[in-house]
Amino acid sequence: MKIGITCYPTFGGSGVVATELGVALAAGGDEVHFIAYAMPSRLELPRERVHFHEVVAPSYPLFVSPPYTLALATKMAEVAAHAKLDLLHVHYALPHAISAILAREMGNGSGVKLKVVTTLHGTDITIVGMDRSYLPITRWGIEKSDAVTAVSDYLRDVTVREFGVRRSIEVLPNFVDTQQYRPGGASAFAKALSRDGEPLIVHISNFRPVKRIADVLAIFERIQKKTPARLLLVGDGPDRSLAERLARQGGFEDRTIFLGSVAAIESILPAARLLLLPSDAESFGLAALEAMACGVPVIGTAKGGLPEVVEDGRHGFLRPVGDVDGMAAAALKLLQDPGLWDRFSAAGRERAVREFPTAALVARYRALYEKTLAG
């Protein structure tokens, strides 16, 4: 099978999943073509049966901004024709599904029977798509795709309810390579971040407002007043400066480490004692799943798709949005009870291995492709 994959090439969960999926498909014998404005952050080339095609949007004085959606559609159609693609699998409804549908229509006259599979990941529905100016075209992109998937029951239900779509949306959860993400896999660098045996509390995100970075700092401030600990912040984004300011104002700047965007998360997470994820809502929570695979309990929000990944009181603790005191108390409970931590760690690892393995979920995607191509 020949598959074109488009995603945002950043460190967000959608780009990570799209990249891991493409690499796994290629390892299984499929030919995969990534089409994006930059190389996906976790894609390493050269790699057998994997290709990358850069999209460059032309800039002219007439344009308010470069027309990326049209440039992407043109590149998709070009790659589809030359590489004889069977389908395009796009991650995020906007603008990727729209571009893919245009590419499909562009190829119709040449007899190319290109199919479009759209995977919804979260903010393309819960934030961007719900903007009144984008809602109609987001709905149109979902309806006109040949197949649509969502990464959680929560996201599927939000899409059906808020967009009024009447088509089937298959839930295919995110997955994790449990051989790569495993307890004991921390690098020497990561181990050295935890000085004097102090527990390392980790947060991983793109530092957008939805991630509630101020809550991360507030939770850690309460933790470090009760027990020595260090906060490791992985990622970058608009609220990083806020986090830096709060650490200074709280007087624990020396106990806070800003690591920036890191590709090899699997070498960092196993060194952590806890993962903090107090977001407004996670549509799935890939960072939580990766942490669980590494045996790291999760402190997060009892909202969105995260409860489908983390069982409260078994793999971590989930509290209401904004319950900083409750999350800090839950974190301290795990930090101060080694036996409880061991049970949560083992249970999280077991769940990741049993319910979210790469091979099983990649097989489900491939089955969906075959079903879609069969009409």
Average pLDDT over residues 191-207: 91
d(CA 97, CA 87): 12
Q: Taking the mean position of all CA atoms in its chain, how far away is CA 343? A: 26
Average pLDDT over residues 223-249: 95
By DSSP bridging, strand 87-91 and strand 170-171 are unpaired
pTM: 0.92
> Structural domain boundaries of the chain?
2-175+357-373, 188-355
Task: Give the residue among 245, 343, 225, 334 at the shortest CA–CA distance from 233.
Answer: 245
* Contact assessment for residue 332 and residue 223, using Cβ atoms and an 8 Å cutoff: yes
Task: Give the residue among 37, 57, 30, 33 at the shortest CA–CA distance from 45.
Answer: 33
Quote the pLDDT of residue 111: 61
Percent of the chain topping pLDDT 70: 97
Q: How far apart are the first and last CA of the chain?
A: 15
Mean pLDDT over the full length of the chain? 93
Phi and psi, residue 13, nearest 5°:
-60, -35
At residue 128 the predicted structure's pLDDT band, cuts being 50, 70 and 90, is low
At residue 127 the predicted structure's pLDDT band, cuts being 50, 70 and 90, is low
- pLDDT digits 0-9 by tens, 273-309: 999 999 999 999 999 999 999 999 999 999 999 999 9
Give the CA-trace dihedral at 82, 87, 91, 97, to 10 degrees.
Answer: 90
At residue 62 the predicted structure's pLDDT band, cuts being 50, 70 and 90, is confident
Quote the pLDDT of residue 273: 97
Is 2-175+357-373 a domain of CATH 3.30.428.10? no
- Contacts of residue 298, defined as CB under 8 A and 6 or more positions apart, other chains included, come to 274, 275, 277, 285, 288, 291, 292, 310, 315, 316, 317, 348
* Helices 324-335, 213-226: crossing angle, 10 deg rounding: 50
d(CA 278, CA 288): 11
At residue 47 the predicted structure's pLDDT band, cuts being 50, 70 and 90, is very high
Task: Give the residue among 27, 67, 71 at the shortest CA–CA distance from 49.
Answer: 27
* Contact assessment for residue 194 and residue 272, using Cβ atoms and an 8 Å cutoff: no
Quote the pLDDT of residue 135: 86
Assigned architecture for domain 188-355: 3-Layer(aba) Sandwich (3.40)
Same fold, 2-175+357-373 and 188-355: yes
| pLDDT above 90 (res 349) | yes
Quote the pLDDT of residue 107: 81
